[in-house]
Amino acid sequence: MNFFLNLFDTTDFPQRWYCGDWSAGHGWLHILSDVGIWGAYFAIPGLLAYFLSQRKDLPFRRVFILFVAFIMLCGLTHLMDATIFWWPAYRLSGMLKLVTAIVSWATVFALIYNIPEVLRLRSPEELEREIEARKLAEQALRESNDVLEQRVQQRVEELNKANADLKERDARWRRFTSSNIIGVGLANADGSWMEVNGELLRMLHCTEQEWEKDGLRWYEMTPPEYRPRDVEGIETADKEGACPAYEKEYITKDGTRVPVTLGYTPVEDRPGQYICFVLDQSRLKETEQALKQSQAEFFQLADAIPQMAWMTRADGYVDWFNDRWYEYTGLTQEDCLGWSWTQCINSTDLPQVKAAWEKSIATGEQVDIIAPIRGADGVVRPFLTRALPLKNDDGEIVRWFGTNTDISEQQKIQEELRTVAAQLSDADRKKDEFLATLAHELRNPLAPIRMGLELMKMAGDDPELLDETRETMERQTKQLITLVDDLLDVSRVTRGKLNLRKADIKVSDVIENAVETSQPLIDDSEHSLEVICRDDVTIHADPNRLAQVVSNLLNNAAKYTPDGGKITLTVDQPDYSHVAIHVRDTGIGIPANMIDSIFTMFTQVDRSMERRYSGLGIGLTLVKSLVEMHGGTVSVTSEGQGKGSKFTVILPILEEDQPDQLKDLPVEGFSLQQGKHKVLVVDDNKAAADMLSKVVKMLGNTVETAEDGQQAIEVAQRFQPEIILMDLGMPKMNGYEAARYIRQQEWGKDILLIALTGWGQQDDRDRTKDAGFDHHLVKPAEPSELQRLINQYRSE
């Protein structure tokens, strides 16, 4: 506990102002720089936190959270460096830096840990590359098929070559040769080998030395079961001049048996002697086994590939499918042989597929088509179908080998990419249009305000010109504020931050407020407005937001109706539980192709430069959102361009189980009272503070100013103001902290605290109320509103 208490102990450290010869400029340079860095470091994690709240599916959230903590701690260290100028809590500053270092390294390790996974994430460019990779994979598959076909052709060629070798060996058997390709020997009828070649010795596992020493007797090497066959062969050879080759076995020198093929013919000039040709069958059997193994490997390879594969005879008769075909179609081999595979093709696509296949059979060209094939689940999927012919040495087709590759997923990805590209293009176009429109709309009121300021400089003492210029600037300022408010309202709606403050209200009161708001624009365009309120009913709604809905519809009608048009506002009750508000105009109308998108953000019927009034294209979007938040609906009808339009809002009359109305209650005990008051204006923006001070002074009050919360406390303690107008976001000490401190002081309990800020959401109002403020005004505040609040200040 002492450790943590010592963190805030500053008794053994001087304020930083006294550490060295600090000049005011040098010190404030460090302070403002550190505070600026702190503000930016807190803004960045705030934006990141908002981003994380909007993207719940975002990966690496822990890294983002660590990064947010890291930036906020960095900001706190800078804020602490600025604070030390007055509060020398060096221990706390060191501890913050230690925590910052720990979190910084934790962030580093988290980044190192997650970088491999981040690098594996796919971007749109990677998706494009994946498509390209799939294309390359498809090409590789084709090449693989080509290689497989070449391997099959190579195996066939090897088999043909083996047969040729057999023929060649047979020819050599019939020659008197001493080559060692086959075993050749001279034997007599009593069983002795008189001469042998090296191949025959190898078969018998006998060396030349053993042969020369001990000799060999074929009768002794022959197992008993083959001896009758040898006797029969000798008799045949004597009678017919040659003995047909037959198979038998020899017992070798080491006792093993070797299968051989034996043939012999008598020596004409040597009765009882025979020239024998012996073929080692073990090699042939190994070759045959190798061929069987090669065939088994081919079929295993064909079953292992992800494609469906098949082979046909030269005439196109299918006699083999791999396992993938049967798995996908759910059919058996008997169901698919021949031309029965056609049952897997839709009847509408079958003629085209069959024609392409028959053409390839006739011409020998490879098949390369997209064939829709029905699976066992009944779903028809597209397959890239290719088939290549296998030809013999004479160039004749002996077989066809084909594959089917499922490309449904690839086509789906391509379609999704096209859709995403179109959406991105449309979003980019709308963004450019919105930015251009926003710039135009902001310049419209800023231009007369800027020119009005110049005109007021040159007007001198001409009160009529000054009044006219001031009125123009006020109108343009209100228009600028309206633009900003609309943008903020749309932002709050899209983020779900807009809260309705509902009460039981009369529709006629809403209509009256809306007409009052829109009347200047309607009069400026010389339109006639007819209001027909057939049914004045009470509904449970937010009066301000509902008046905003009707006012937006009236403004929209005024903007899109040529000067001198007519606008009709009608209220009726279509049934006992709903009220309908209709706004009809004689304007430019809405084309049929835009009816469905008229309530979409940034949509405008006419974007021409010649229009007298324009807008951001968010008014109707805001109308739709606010109406739906009230449980109602909004629709539009138009007979076409130049024939006007009609907007209809339908709202429920009563809603049960609604929360009670939230009202800004007046400060109890306040009475209208004229006279001077002591007012303290607190704002870090010196220009804003000066202008507000002048306005308050012109209302007959005594005014002092302060530039931050800490200075406000010091001035208030000395000045003892009755009213404090205070900004919220300020350096050193913000408005919330200053208000809490003032309320805790005996002299500050009865001060009228008014928050004057650019933050106007309900959360901001709740925070000011909790901090002790009596009222919350959003900049720029109307002087009349300030006067009303000051005049309401209660007397002791």
Sequential DSSP letters for 341-361: GGGGS-TTTHHHHHHHHHHHH
Could you tell me if 619 and 634 are in contact, meaning their C-beta atoms sit under 8 angstroms apart? no
Q: What is the DSSP letter of 365?
A: P
Q: How many CB atoms lie within 10 A of CB 472?
A: 16
Rounded CA separation 711/159 (Å): 102
Rounded CA separation 137/384 (Å): 13
State mean pLDDT over 465-478. 71
What pLDDT, on the 0 to 100 scale, is given for residue 454?
Answer: 64
Could you tell me if 704 and 680 are in contact, meaning their C-beta atoms sit under 8 angstroms apart? yes
What pLDDT, on the 0 to 100 scale, is given for residue 680?
Answer: 92
Q: Would you give the distance in Å from CA 776 to the centre of its chain?
A: 41
What pLDDT, on the 0 to 100 scale, is given for residue 612?
Answer: 43
Tokens of 529: 């407005």
What is the gyration radius of the CA atoms in the chain, in angstroms?
A: 49
Rounded CA separation 629/549 (Å): 12
Percent of the chain with pLDDT over 70: 78
> What's the whole-number average pLDDT of the chain?
77
Helices (H) and strands (E) in the chain — how many of each?
A: 23, 22
Q: What is the DSSP letter of 588?
A: S
Q: Comparing 476 with 263, which gets the higher pLDDT?
A: 263
State mean pLDDT over 414-442. 69
Percent of the chain with pLDDT over 90: 7
Q: Comparing 507 with 306, which gets the higher pLDDT?
A: 507
What pLDDT, on the 0 to 100 scale, is given for residue 656?
Answer: 42
State mean pLDDT over 773-779. 84
What pLDDT, on the 0 to 100 scale, is given for residue 741?
Answer: 92
State mean pLDDT over 461-477. 72
Rounded CA separation 611/562 (Å): 9
Tens of pLDDT, residue by residue over 45-63, are: 777 777 777 776 666 667 7
688 band by pLDDT with thresholds 50, 70 and 90: confident
Burial class (CB in 10 A: 0-12, 13-18, 19+), 276: buried
175 band by pLDDT with thresholds 50, 70 and 90: low
Tens of pLDDT, residue by residue over 526-551, are: 899 988 887 678 888 888 778 878 88
Could you tell me if 543 and 504 are in contact, meaning their C-beta atoms sit under 8 angstroms apart? no
State mean pLDDT over 678-686. 87
Whether residue 463 is preceded by a cis peptide bond, meaning omega within 30 degrees of 0, is: no
Question: Does pLDDT of 491 surpass 70?
Answer: no
- 0.75 surpassed by pTM: no
- Report the DSSP pairing between strands 678-682 and 723-726: parallel
673 band by pLDDT with thresholds 50, 70 and 90: very low
How far, in Å, are 136, 367, 368, 451, 578 from residue 143 at the CA level? 10, 15, 13, 74, 70
Question: Does pLDDT of 740 surpass 90?
Answer: yes
